[in-house]
Structures are given as C-alpha cells and as structure tokens.
Amino acid sequence: MVRVRFAFRGGTPEPETEVGGVRVVVRSIEQRERRATVRMAAYAPPGAQVVSPTADQTWGVRIVGEGERVSRAVAGTVATKPDGSAEFTVTLQDVPARPESLEAEVLLRSGRRVQYPFRLTDLPLPVRPR
C-alpha cells in the first residue's frame, strides 16, 4: 500500500509526487461549495500495476482541513491502462473550507498478471414479462 499526501499551497495541491516508485499526479480539482471532484493519475514502475485498495474505487482519496476535518468520498471511477497505470476520478462531500492536504492510497500489484478463464453454466436468467 502506498499512501500519498499533497500539501495545499495557495489554494491548490502540489501537482505530483512519487512514493515507493509510484508517481501520482493531480490532474484537476473542481470544487463547488462543500463538494469536490478530484481527477488523478497513478503510474506504476515497470512490470507492476496500480489498483484501488477500496472496492468502491474511491482510492482512499480525502481532503483534510484545519483541525483534522476530513471530507468523505462518495463515488469513484477508474480507467486502467495496459502499462499498469490508472486514471481515476473521485467525488468528495463535506470538503473543509480551508483544505490543508489531499491524500490518496494506491495498492501496487507486482508480478505477472494472471487471468483465470471461467464460464457460468446452467445459470437461470430472469424471464422478462411481456
């Protein structure tokens, strides 16, 4: 697990950082009142892949403000690339009025990627009423 932290300078976070061989870039932050949409990209070292550590694809993204006030991630999407990188968008609520940092978590998967074929047989599908 790689945790990244971007300090806010003049109202915006630093544009990028590298931790544990993973480069993470803040593409944009759009904020309206107490809601924000954060677009980021994470780049894995050769032979590895970055994935979200959360099932809801929110990447552990949060904005922390004065007095440890923390925003809450409510939705996330991700686009993974063949080179192991990922671009993700996370929507946050309850964003602090004076943000101090943007934080995210990235799970770094290394080793050869294996796909397991499977087939669902004898699965009854619902019948659509006419």
Exposed, middle or buried, 44 (CB in 10 Å: 0-12/13-18/19+)?
Answer: buried
User: Over the stretch 4-24, which tens digit does the pLDDT of each residue have?
Assistant: 999 988 878 889 999 999 999
Q: What is the CATH number of the domain that holds 77?
A: 2.60.40.1640
For residue 84, being part of any structural domain is answered with yes
For residue 34, being part of any structural domain is answered with yes
77 phi/psi in degrees, rounded to 5: -135, 155
For residue 80, being part of any structural domain is answered with yes
For residue 27, being part of any structural domain is answered with yes
User: Over the stretch 34-90, which tens digit does the pLDDT of each residue have?
Assistant: 999 999 999 999 989 998 888 888 889 999 998 878 999 999 999 989 899 999 999
67 phi/psi in degrees, rounded to 5: 65, 25
For residue 48, being part of any structural domain is answered with yes
User: Over the stretch 96-114, which tens digit does the pLDDT of each residue have?
Assistant: 988 999 999 999 988 776 7
